[in-house]
Amino acid sequence: MTFEELCDNFSFLESWEEKYQYLIELGDTLPPFDEADKTPANKVEGCMSQVWLTHWQDAMGRHFFKAASDAHIVRGLEAIILTLVNGKTDAELHDLDLLSAFRRLGLEEHLSPTRRNGFYAMTDRIRQLIK
């Protein structure tokens, strides 16, 4: 799914209960995360829930990430972030404004401060990993 498709899907949902349910469904689409990768080195600090993030780069210089969390809404936020970042090059990631994308979905004002902070912590961790 592309980010544009995500935006379209969010725009069709009328209530915030529907949007939260959609976030949970997005989180359910994340690929399995290996338990062996749930290490302190892969843990995202600054999140209230448990969040892990792994990163690798292919031979063409594209970045890929996998994420996991013990919280349903956070897994949905991870799915959105991964939609935006997976398969991108260094230049594409450096030009990507994750916070604007988050705002475009209208999520910023409807998530609790702790979930917003968790989103910011995940985006900061991605920036650290690609340096």
Tokens of 86: 């997976």
CA-to-CA distance for 118 and 78, rounded, in angstroms?
A: 10
Q: Annotated catalytic, 7?
A: no
Element (H, E) at 91: helix 90-95
On whether the CB atoms of residues 83 and 125 are closer than 8 A, the answer is no
Closest CA to 9 of 33, 23, 17, 58: 23
Residues counted in the chain: 131
Identified catalytic residue from 47, 71, 73, 107 = 47
Catalytic machinery residues: 47
